[in-house]
Structure 1
Amino acid sequence: MIQVAAAIIEDEQGQLLIARRKEGKSQAGLWEFPGGKIEEGESGEECLRRELMEEMNIAIEPYEFVGVNDHWYGDVHIRLFAWKATYQAGTITLADHDEYCWIAKSELGLFEFAEADKVFVRKLSAGGEG
């Protein structure tokens, strides 16, 4: 099982940050809430701070656990932990993604998300907090 953390990052206008996986990466072409693999001995919040700095060159602050989703991509088991986070600083520079955008919750349904993220998309789209 691979443990992964995802950040549901909201800006001051209430928009959410989503990013599209670039070619050559697993789930290429699909949108996701950015994050990454949780390393040994690392908390989910620490993982998100590290991953968002590494992958997007931004500082975030996770503040609320949203939930967990177990998903199988074929024989690969992903356990995705999601946190709400605030954008703190930095100019987005992409490493594992080829596009990003800030969108309103009402626009989530316009994007094709990776399967593991869809449970959180549905909750946010329905107005639930997680």
Structure 2
Amino acid sequence: MLQVTCAIIEHQGKVLICQRSAAMLLPLKWEFPGGKIEQGESMKACLAREIMEELNVTIQVEKGLSMVEHHYPDFSLCLHPFICTLISGDIQALEHAQTLWVDQTALLDYDWAEADLPIVREYLKLRP
């Protein structure tokens, strides 16, 4: 079971979403960015590191949301989401096909990776 973090990055009233590249598992699905927790690494440290590696920005990791356990045909994961704030840097899609800043009201308009959908729904309940 993979232990993975993801960031719901907020900035100027928008939320960052990322489209997986065609070469990744779950190609071209939308997700909140993040990655695998390394041995001995805290979830918050993992998230800050992964966001710097994938997007070249610094974030402030804030509130955790409910963990999601999801089983895909080829792998299973425990996804640990956190609401975050952009601190510095300009987003660069170093691993994703594209990144978008979207209004929270448009979040459900995208073709999300299945594990991310419960996170989108919980986030929308918290941010009316």
* Smaller-chain TM-score bracket: over 0.9
- Name 1:55's counterpart in structure 2: 54
Give the unaligned 5+ runs of structure 2. none
The C-alpha deviation readout for 1:25-66, integer Å capped at 9, x for no partner, is 011100000000011111111011100110110000101111
Q: TM-score, normalised by structure 2?
A: 0.94
Q: Give me the whole-angstrom Cα distance separating, in 2, the residues matched to 1:113 and 1:14.
A: 21
Q: Which amino acid aligns with 1:53?
A: M
- Name 2:93's counterpart in structure 1: 94
What is the RMSD of the two structures over their aligned residues, measured on CA atoms?
1.1
Q: CA deviation at 1:116?
A: 0.6
Q: Tell me, what secondary structure is at the counterpart of 1:97?
A: coil
- Name 1:74's counterpart in structure 2: 73
Q: Tell me, what secondary structure is at the counterpart of 1:26?
A: coil
After TM superposition, which residue ranges in structure 1, 4 or more long, deviate above 3 angstroms? none
Q: How many residues align?
A: 127
| Structure with the largest fraction of strand | 1
Q: Tell me, what secondary structure is at the counterpart of 1:49?
A: helix
Q: Is the 8 A contact 1:25 1:96 kept in 2?
A: no
- Name 2:83's counterpart in structure 1: 84
Q: State yes or no: 1:43 paired with 2:42.
A: yes
Q: Which amino acid aligns with 1:6?
A: C
Q: Which amino acid aligns with 2:49?
A: R
Q: Give me the whole-angstrom Cα distance separating, in 1, the residues matched to 2:10 and 2:126.
A: 15
